[in-house]
């Protein structure tokens, strides 16, 4: 079964809109696991507009499943990850002013840099994953960095799924094939939801983990967090 890691950034976004501690991000992390999530994901950005660096330190000791920290490996981020030592770090090339992640790494252009970062994290026992577009060339060069996994950026799949799901998933099948041939584990995330998730995990072999935040928490506004997480888990069985 593909694991579900819930990205709780949006909980922090709501909290930060008014200040104070409502909703409680720490309780949200605990409850997500209680309701069946097999991991918690956070993505601290330099401006701390949602998850704060201080949140990461407070959440880590509470997580009983897997803790995944994702972000652009600026020095402050690297220092945070090395201090916290989560189960997994996901490297994402988002610009400081990006509303959300909007592209994978050019792993050919940045191969030496990524290899250096991956080597450092792995030397501390932290599993590494690199966020990539469904491009076989990018997957191949990601493998050459020594990373453990890739995370396939699924925005394009989600966008084209309502029009033609077979065409939408085709490049992801090829990317997954190259990943498997090169010994990489496969994660996926971005714009996956209750409409398109099941087809993705049934069509792409060996997806180890999906990281989902915006859609899951938006749907939880209508259905409640516990019911929504259970519906996502049903999609992954």
Question: CB of 157 within 8 A of CB of 133?
Answer: no
Of the candidates 186, 231, 232, the residue with the CA atom closest to the CA atom of residue 4:
232
CATH architecture of 3-236: Alpha-Beta Barrel (3.20)
Element (H, E) at 175: helix 165-181
Name the residue ranges covered by the structural domains of the chain: 3-236
What pLDDT, on a 0 to 100 scale, did the predictor assign at position 205? 86
Question: CB of 111 within 8 A of CB of 138?
Answer: no
Q: Summarize the confidence of residues 15-42 as an average pLDDT.
A: 97
* Residue 43 designated active-site: yes
What pLDDT, on a 0 to 100 scale, did the predictor assign at position 94? 79
Pairing of strands 149-153, 127-132: parallel
Residue 143 reports pLDDT greater than 60: yes
- Output the DSSP codes for 11-76: HHHHHHHH-TTSS-HHHHHHHHHHTT-SEEEE---TT-SSS-HHHHHHHGGG-SS-EEEEE---HH
> How confident is the model over 174-206, as pLDDT tens digits?
999 999 999 999 999 999 999 999 999 999 989
Of the candidates 201, 118, 100, the residue with the CA atom closest to the CA atom of residue 155:
100
Q: Summarize the confidence of residues 14-41 as an average pLDDT.
A: 97
What pLDDT, on a 0 to 100 scale, did the predictor assign at position 97? 57
Q: What is the Cα–Cα distance from 83 to 50, expressed in whole angstroms?
A: 20
| pTM attached to this predicted model | 0.95
Question: CB of 171 within 8 A of CB of 134?
Answer: yes
Token pair 């579900």 is found at: 4
Catalytic entry in 43, 141, 151, 219: 43
Catalytic entry in 70, 151, 209, 219: 70
User: Which of 77-81, 94-98, 180-184 is the least confident region?
Assistant: 94-98
Catalytic entry in 50, 66, 151, 190: 190
Pairing of strands 185-189, 149-153: parallel
């Amino acid at each position: 079964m593909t694991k579900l890691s819930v990205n709780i950034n949006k909980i922090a976004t709501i909290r930060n809109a008014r200040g104070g501690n409502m909703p409680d991000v720490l309780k949200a992390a605990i409850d997500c696991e209680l309701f069946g999530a097999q991991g918690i994901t956070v993505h601290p950005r330099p401006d701390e507009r949602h998850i704060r660096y201080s949140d990461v330190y407070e959440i880590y000791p509470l997580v009983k499943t897997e803790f995944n920290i994702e972000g652009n490996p600026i020095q402050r981020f690297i220092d945070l990850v090395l201090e916290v030592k989560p189960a997994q770090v996901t490297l994402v090339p988002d610009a400081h002013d990006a509303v959300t992640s909007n592209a994978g790494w050019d792993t050919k252009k940045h191969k030496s840099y990524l290899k250096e970062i991956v080597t450092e994290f792995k030397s501390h026992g932290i599993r590494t994953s690199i966020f990539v577009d469904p491009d076989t060339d990018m997957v191949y060069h990601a493998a050459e960095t020594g990373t453990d996994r890739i995370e396939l950026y699924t925005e394009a799949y989600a966008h084209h799924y309502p029009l033609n799901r077979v065409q939408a998933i085709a490049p992801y099948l090829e990317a997954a094939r190259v990943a498997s041939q090169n010994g990489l584990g496969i994660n996926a995330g971005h714009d996956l939801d209750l409409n398109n998730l099941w087809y993705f995990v049934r069509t792409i072999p060996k997806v180890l983990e999906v990281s989902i935040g915006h859609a899951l928490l938006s749907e939880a506004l209508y259905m409640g967090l516990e019911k929504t997480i259970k519906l996502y888990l049903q999609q992954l069985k």
